[in-house]
A = this chain, B = another copy of it.
Amino acid sequence: MNQVLDPVQANAAYEIVVENLRRALLLGRFLPGEKLPPERELALQLQVSRTTLREALRVLEGEGLIQSKRGATGGIVVQSPHMSHHEFVEFLSRRMHDLKQLYEYRSIIETATARLAATNRSERDLENLSAIVEKMHALVAGETLDDPALVVAKFLAADAEFHAAIGTASGNPHLSQAIEDIRASKFLPIGAVFSKMDPKANEGHAELLKAIRDQKPDLAATIMYNHVNGTLAAIRELVASGPQKG
């Protein structure tokens, strides 16, 4: 009868808000340079008082994720995370061991999800996925017209959306949740590998969509497996070559 009960930990409301917002930011729900909704509206959405919300915003501001400006044209601006290439490579190489385990896990989760999605996807799911793939295609094509960093940020947000949509298509909320968890709280630098857009980056997505549309579970699983492990390979390469340049 020893220690049968889980310890309780009552999180302060503002801490929950911090996590909520941080997750949204890391998932790219708000892009760098964009403004968050006004404090008063955010407080409403999150069902907390403005004071509590602001407590959370102060934490995020301390982390450098957002910045507040006052005045009529002011607001809460999402900051772009600004790691230099060198710092980024350092960061990756220090966490290489963790990353390998995380990608092993991710590979399991997302491969199984793709397989299920190929079976269970609805027409609605296919439409969603198509729309996202097209959006990413447009981003890759129109890259030169815009701030490259912003394009990458948008691409990452769309990528997150794509994988989340496959989670939805699988019909299993636990898988959706796991995919989001991997990306947000555990796995910051997915795809941040690209300092500029890689034309191939989007190819896997289109193939995957096709396999899911054609309801070929094994094919979908294989593509996803290669997709995920391809990203890991890219990270490995970056780490291997990085120190020489940095």
Contacts and interface: CB of A to CB of B under 8 A. Distances in A.
A195 interface: no
- A interface: dominant SS: helix
A9 interface: yes
A46 interface: yes
A149 interface: no
Contacts of A51: 51
Interface stretch (A103-111, A137-145, A228-236): A103-111
Nearest to A51: B51
Nearest to A10: B13
A80 to B, nearest CB: 18
Given A1-B37, A112-B108, A6 B29 contact: no
Contact of A101 (B48, B174, B178): B174
Given A3-B45, A5-B20, A104-B116, 20 more contacts: A1-B30, A1-B37, A6-B46, A7-B46, A8-B16, A8-B20, A8-B46, A8-B47, A9-B47, A10-B16, A101-B171, A101-B173, A104-B174, A105-B175, A108-B109, A108-B112, A108-B175, A112-B112, A174-B186, A178-B178
